[in-house]
Amino acid sequence: MNKPYFKTAKDAPEPLRAIVKTITRFEEIDSMGIAWHGRFASYFEDARVSLGEKYKISYFDLFNNGILAPLKKIHIDFKKPVFFREEISIECILHYTEASKISTEYIIKKQDNTIAATGYVIQMLLNLKYELFLTQPEYYKNFCKMWEKGKIK
């Protein structure tokens, strides 16, 4: 078993999740006949967009509330190749934190339910002048409070 990407406090709410499915396209395949490693960041993003829309923390929701969320770090662990026309599922898991950032974990599964890749992304929260929020901005703070109270599942 791999060690977890994020340490979660014992009193933290359960992570929030969203899963999307896609079929690998010809343009995503490299000369070895497998999904090109650079596509995995896009797969992560597809699931992140779904999670954002599901929980009202999409890029538009954040932007409309004065928040930008650029990437600070992305990490991918490749486990098994993904082939042309293979259906994969991408799960995005949002981990709770009181810090001014968004911490998401990803699991990409193949058709046979084996894990093709895992990884994580850390996004910093900036204002519209590209300045770092030192504490959670109000909109995201309110979202986290609702999450803590169990009103977001």
Q: What is the pLDDT of residue 3?
A: 82
Question: Which residues touch 2 (CB under 8 Å, ≥6 apart)?
Answer: 77, 118
Q: What is the pLDDT of residue 107?
A: 98
* Total count of residues recorded for the chain: 153
Antiparallel, parallel or unpaired: β 101-109 and 87-95: antiparallel
pLDDT in tens, the chain (153 residues): 478 899 888 899 999 999 999 999 999 999 999 999 999 999 999 999 999 999 999 999 999 999 999 999 999 999 999 999 999 999 999 999 999 999 999 999 999 999 999 999 999 999 999 999 999 999 999 999 999 999 997
CATH number of 16-144: 3.10.129.10
Q: What is the pLDDT of residue 14?
A: 96
Rounded to two decimals, the pTM is 0.94
Q: How far is residue 140's CA from residue 125's CA, in Å, rounded to a whole number?
A: 9
Q: What is the pLDDT of residue 153?
A: 77
Q: What is the pLDDT of residue 135?
A: 97
Q: In 27-139, where do the E strands start and end?
A: 71-78, 87-95, 101-109, 115-124
Q: What is the pLDDT of residue 2?
A: 73
